[in-house]
Every structure is written in C-alpha cells, then in structure tokens.
C-alpha cells in the first residue's frame, strides 16, 4: 500500500484488516473463540498491564470485532474505536468513562425514540440524567450546561423528522465548556458526514442500520477522536486521575490519545460486558464494503421520492432536508453535502387513520421498526417507536400522529414510488 491517504471506498474495503497472519485468508475470518493462549506467564502479565497489546478474552477484544472497530474508526477519522452489542449499548459505553452519580448530559430533544427513553428514564438508575434542549437554540444549549454536565449529545440527521444538526456550533459550545460533544452518526454514516472533522469528540453508531445495511445484525460502535484533553479540568477523573477500577492506572497520562479507547475496553467492556460477537462483526464488515455505493443510491432515491411526494396533493408536507422547501436545506448543504440521508417523514391528509391504512396497504415497503436496510421500510412512529413518549415529546421529536416515516431503500425508485402511490390511493379512498 502507498503512503498517500486512501479514499473512503478503499478504506471501507481494506481498513482494519490484512490477510490473516496464520492462514493468509483474504477475507476477515470469524474468530469464534473465547480465549487466547498466552506465550508464557510474562506475556500474560504484560497484556493485563496494558504494556503489550494482544488478545486475552473475547469480552475485551477479538480479532474479528477489532477489525470492525478499526475500520469504522478509519472511516470516521478517529484514533480508536469500540464495537458493542447494539447501538444502545454503544451509547451507554460512550457515556460510561465520563459519567458518575449526579452527573448529567445535555441532549438534543430530537433523538431516536429509544434514545429519548434511555436518557430520560433508564440512565437515572445509575444516578445519571439528561436535560433535553432544542439544539437550534444555541443559547439554551449553553445555558443548560452546568457544573455537573459531562457531555453534549446529538444526532447528525435526527430520526424520524430528517432534521440536520449544526455540529460545528455545538462543538464550539462543548469546547468552551470543557466537555466532549458526542454525535450519533447512525443515520448519516461517515459517507455523508464526518462529525470528528466538525469538532465532535466522540461518534456513536447503531451498526444495525446502514453500516451493516441489510437488517441482519444488532451492533453498535463508539469512535473516539483522540483529540480531547481529558486532563484540562477535573471533570473526568476516570481518565485523568488514577482509576481504582484498573489498579490505579492513570489512563490519560499513560495512553494519551488512546486513553478513552483503552478505558472503554479495559474497564467498560470488562465490567459492563456489552461486547459485539465475532459473527455479527463479520456481517457488518461485509456490509461496510459497499457502504459508499449503497449510500449514494439511498440518498438519490430518497430525494426523488421526497420530491414526488411533495408535489402530490394527497400530502400535507414532507420533512426531507434535501428539499428546497426544507428550513434545513442550507444547513444540510454544509453538514451533509452529498445528500440529506434516506430517512424522512411525510404528513398524509387524513391524519392518524389514513396513516394506519397506508401502512396496511403497502406491498414493496416492509412495515418494520428498523431503518437503514437495502429494502424500503415504513412505520407510523407515533403508534410504534415513539409510542412511549408523550404527545408533546412526539411532536418535539418530529413524530406527530399524522406523519409516516420512510426509510428509502436501494430498489428501483419507480417501484418505490408506484407502491406509495397505490397505497395512498387506498388509504384515502
Ligand atoms: C437504531 C438506533 C439506535 C439504537 O441502536 P440499536 O442497534 O437498535 O440498539 C440509536 N440511535 C439511532 C439514531 C438509531 O437509529
């Protein structure tokens, strides 16, 4: 390989992997093993001391899983990455080195429904909390950050409404406050947006979605930029001070830009156990090989479907940020210049009942609680993914009762449009 920086599609196929040293296998093997034989007692001691990098036990690291973490790290332009058992696991893992009882995060009010539930309810059991703010109101974001705030959390393109976040503006606030910005880049993928280049410290993914791409795996990834100075203040003692959970190792002093990644493996994965399995990692690696090709088609199809819907008299409005009519069009050009993703909602005249009928009459679209599949998917968020939220939270999240969410696949776009057309006719008959 040459020294010049490689392009996205090349990295998507090659990063994090080399021919298998034992067999020469060209594809990344599925290392279906729990443990690894140490060379001798000294080797084992060095591994446990983090003096030498190697394999100990697959709850911590596994060659197939590490290939995946390293590939996504390369695509995001980070220093290190951790593969986890799901996107939600990745979110807890991302917060774990930063948080403690009484600490909080400031989170966008426009997030994946499950994340709003995780942040507003479940993390309270750890003594953590979240303050939800409209991230378009930068003054409100700044004001919400208090002395116990340990991160700002947002999504690049917020599901389901197709809202685009001003990542550089939030990164500036986070910087000023001495805390990291965490960006969930699931719906954009690094092909559309690289949050680290825009100032984010940490990127999280649900690998379940576009990274794998075909609805076969549940997984998550955390990528650390390696750029945050954990010792600039006393907010992050797990990284900047001796860590009692790892025989007093001071991770930042010992490991520099890899401090966060090593802490996440040596303490996070060790004790929380939210590890990805090697078979799942293998499927996701296969998916990522075609990420660029797929995303190109996803956004092209999404734009065409959104434009068609917007012109249709049966439709009240379409929330695709790639449309000229979108209030986020200008921002989308800056944050996701290659396309505003493939996920958006539209409001059908006829409200809740018509939405439900539409969903019962689609044939090509699949009615599932998922997104980022090669197949086109449809769901009525208010009665499903966002059901646990109050109506006010639903509206704030872009999941009003009269809207249907589409995840546009990579089929022929004429077939996608024809299916929506016939289902809309039946829904409004
Ligand atoms: C799906 C999703 C998650 C949760 O990921 P899982 O893999 O389902 O746990 C988090 N954020 C976003 C934006 C998602 O789409």
Q: What is the pLDDT of residues 272-303, one digit of tens each?
A: 999 999 999 999 999 999 999 999 999 999 99
In-domain check, residue 345: yes
Residue 355, number of CB atoms within 10 A of its CB = 26
166 and 256 together in one domain: yes
Please report whether residue 3 resides in a domain.
no
Which DSSP string corresponds to 287-315? HHTTHHHHHHHHHHHHHHHHHHHHH-TTE
In a shared domain, residues 103 and 195: yes
From 112, 157, 187, mutation site for ligand 1 pocket: most ligand atoms within 8 A of C-beta: 112
Residue 160, pLDDT above cutoff 80: no
Q: The domain spanning residue 369 has which CATH number?
A: 3.90.1150.10
Among 252, 272, 287, the domain boundary falls at 287
Question: Model confidence over 304-350: pLDDT tens digits?
Answer: 999 999 999 999 999 999 999 999 999 999 999 999 999 999 999 98
Same domain for 279 and 339 = no
* Cα–Cα–Cα angle for 24, 25, 26, rounded to 5 degrees: 105
For ligand 1, atom 6, the nearest C-alpha belongs to 87
Burial class (CB in 10 A: 0-12, 13-18, 19+), 254: middle
Split at pLDDT 50, 70, 90, the class of 2 is low
Quickly state the pLDDT bin for 239 (edges 50, 70, 90): very high
Q: Do 277 and 299 fall within a single domain? A: no
* Average pLDDT for the chain: 95
Position 412 scores a pLDDT of: 98
Residue of higher predicted confidence among 9 and 402: 9
Q: Which atom of ligand 1 is nearest to the CA of 208?
A: 7
The tally of domains found in the chain comes to 2
Regarding whether 255 and 236 lie in a shared domain, the answer is: yes
**Do residues 346 and 372 share a domain?**
yes
Are 299 and 423 within one domain? yes
Task: Please tell me the predicted confidence (pLDDT) of residue 352.
Answer: 87
Contact 279, 250 (CB under 8 A): no
Supply the pLDDT for residue 395: 81
Q: What is the pLDDT of residues 42-75, one digit of tens each?
A: 999 999 888 898 999 999 999 999 999 999 999 9
Q: Which domain holds residue 55?
A: 8-287
Examine the pLDDT at 1 and tell me if it is beyond 60: no
Cβ neighbors of 122 (< 8 A, separation 6 or more) are none
What six digits make up the tokens of 44?
Answer: 């084992």
* Structural element, H or E, at residue 84: strand 80-84
The full length of the chain comes to: 429
> Are 205 and 306 in a shared domain?
no
What are 169's two structure tokens?
A: 């503006």
Q: CB of 110 closer than 6 A to ligand 1?
A: no
Instruction: Identify the domain boundary among 287, 319, 336.
Output: 287
Residue 5 contacts residue 23 (beta carbons within 8 Å): no
Q: Are 231 and 241 in contact (CB under 8 A)?
A: no
Binned at pLDDT 50, 70 and 90, residue 383 comes out as: confident
Note the pTM of the prediction, 2 decimals: 0.96
Cα–Cα distance, 373 to 369 (Å, whole number): 11
Ligand 1 closest atom vs CA 89: 9
In this structure, is residue 2 part of a structural domain? no
pLDDT at residue 252 in the model = 98
How far is CA 287 from each of CA 68, 134, 216, 247, rounded to the nearest angstrom?
A: 11, 34, 10, 39
Domain shared by 53 and 193, yes or no = yes
Q: DSSP for 249-280?
A: B-HHHHHGGGHHHHHIIIIIIHHH--BPPHHH
Residue with the nearest Cα to atom 4 of ligand 1? Answer: 87
CATH of the domain at 143: 3.40.640.10
Cite the DSSP H helix spans in 85-148. 87-95, 113-120, 138-144
With a cut of 70, say whether residue 142 has pLDDT above it: yes
């Amino acid at each position: 390989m040459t020294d010049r920086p490689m392009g996205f599609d090349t990295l998507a196929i090659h990063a994090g992997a080399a021919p298998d040293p034992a067999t020469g296998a060209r594809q990344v093997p599925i290392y279906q093993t729990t443990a690894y034989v140490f060379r001798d007692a000294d080797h084992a001691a060095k591994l446990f001391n983090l003096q030498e990098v190697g394999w100990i036990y697959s709850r911590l690291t596994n060659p197939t899983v590490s290939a995946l973490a390293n590939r996504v790290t390369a695509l995001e332009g980070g220093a290190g990455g951790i593969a986890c058992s799901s996107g939600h696991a990745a979110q807890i893992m991302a917060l774990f080195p930063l948080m403690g009882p009484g600490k909080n995060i400031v989170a966008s009010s426009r997030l994946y429904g499950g994340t709003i539930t995780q942040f507003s309810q479940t993390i309270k059991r750890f003594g953590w909390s979240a303050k939800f703010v409209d991230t378009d109101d930068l003054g409100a974001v700044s004001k919400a950050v208090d002395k116990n705030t340990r991160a700002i959390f947002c999504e690049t393109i917020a599901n389901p409404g197709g809202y685009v976040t001003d990542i550089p503006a939030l990164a500036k606030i986070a910087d000023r406050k001495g805390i990291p910005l965490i960006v969930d880049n699931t719906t954009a993928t690094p092909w559309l947006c690289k949050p680290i280049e825009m100032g984010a410290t940490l990127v999280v993914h649900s690998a379940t979605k576009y990274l794998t791409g075909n609805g076969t795996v549940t997984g998550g990834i955390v990528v650390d930029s390696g750029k945050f100075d954990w010792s600039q203040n006393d907010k992050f003692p797990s990284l900047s001070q001796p860590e009692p959970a790892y025989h007093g190792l001071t991770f930042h002093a010992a490991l520099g830009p890899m401090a966060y990644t090593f802490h996440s493996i040596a303490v996070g994965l060790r004790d929380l156990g939210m590890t990805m399995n090697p078979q799942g990692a293998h499927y996701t690696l296969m998916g990522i090989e075609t990420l660029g090709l797929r995303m190109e088609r996803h956004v092209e199809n999404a734009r065409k479907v959104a434009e068609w819907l917007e012109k249709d008299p049966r439709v009240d409005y379409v929330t695709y940020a790639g449309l000229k009519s979108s209030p986020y069009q200008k921002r989308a050009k800056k944050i996701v210049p290659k396309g505003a993703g493939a996920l958006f909602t539209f409001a059908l005249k006829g409200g809740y009942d018509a939405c439900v009928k539409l969903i019962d009459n689609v044939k090509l679209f699949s009615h599932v609680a998922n997104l980022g599949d090669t197949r086109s998917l449809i769901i009525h968020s208010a009665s499903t993914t966002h059901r646990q939220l109050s109506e006010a939270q639903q509206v704030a999240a872009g999941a009003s009762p009269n809207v249907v969410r589409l995840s546009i696949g990579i089929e022929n776009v004429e077939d996608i449009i024809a299916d929506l057309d016939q289902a809309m006719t039946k829904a409004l008959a």
